[in-house]
Amino acid sequence: MITLNILHLYPKEMNLYGDHGNILTLKRRAEWRGYKVNIIEHHVGDKIPDNIDIIFGGGGQDSGQSKIEDDLRKNAKQLKKLIDNDVPCLVICGLYQLFGDYFQTAEGQKITGISILKSHTIAGPTRLIGNIVINSPEFGEVVGYENHSGLTRLDDDAKPFGIVVSGAGNNGEDMTEGEIYRNCIGTYLHGPILPKNPRVADYLLLKAIQNQDPKIDKLKPLNDNIELHAHSVAAKRPR
């Protein structure tokens, strides 16, 4: 039986807006298909093991980012090694920002990132808040809720998670939202994102399972009527 080890980065400092629900979604959707799941919480001072199958990190306030900054940099080499070995990853909001080059706060403090994603973020004068719908080449329509003041700019050769249909996205100007590097997704979509977007959840699970058994080409289908109804309702909500 395949066992999936899911790494949860900084569950205390980076867990705003229900992002813990993404961990629960991955766990349940794997278990419903007969896989065993271990949740490995990474706290400041811990060492990240090699046998990680999925990486997840949520959003947090500027103060939370400051608390984890040094520890994240200490573990940057290991995280990059895992992601370059195609371990799937989902990072939301605050950790999305810190997986890029840096986040500069409204006070001018520069919090150094780990440069796995090709982006940088500077705090803007207002918050970008509300329901958001994007169109993703990999996943089709993706829905969520954004609440961030950071304005993220992607490098020219970076690949966005999707293009904004309604909402603000990375910066409210260039219509991009998030970023994808290998099997790593960075995004501002809270909600949490995975319960209402099962295709994204199953992408992470399938990539993790295929890393252990490349012969598996698809997941056992689930009854996603409730999830898809939640997606449809969210997509119709005004920003």
Which residues lie closer than 8 Å to 51 by C-beta, 6 or more apart?
Answer: 5
Domains in the chain, ordered, with CATH? 3-236 (3.40.50.880)
- The pTM of the full predicted model, rounded to 2 decimals, is 0.96
Whole-number pLDDT of residue 237: 87
Whole-number pLDDT of residue 11: 92
**Residue 37 falls in which region: left (phi positive, over 0), alpha (psi -120 to 50) or beta:** beta
Catalytic residues: 93, 190
Whole-number pLDDT of residue 215: 97
**Roughly what angle, to the nearest 10 degrees, separates helices 198-212 and 20-31?**
60
Bridge partners, 103 (sequence order): 111, 121
E strand or H helix at 125: strand 119-136
pLDDT tens string, the chain, 239 residues long: the values are 899 999 999 998 888 777 889 999 999 999 999 999 999 999 999 999 999 999 999 987 766 677 899 999 999 999 999 999 999 999 999 999 999 999 999 899 899 999 999 999 999 999 999 999 999 999 999 999 999 999 999 999 999 999 999 999 999 999 999 999 999 999 999 989 999 999 999 999 999 999 999 999 999 999 999 999 999 999 998 77
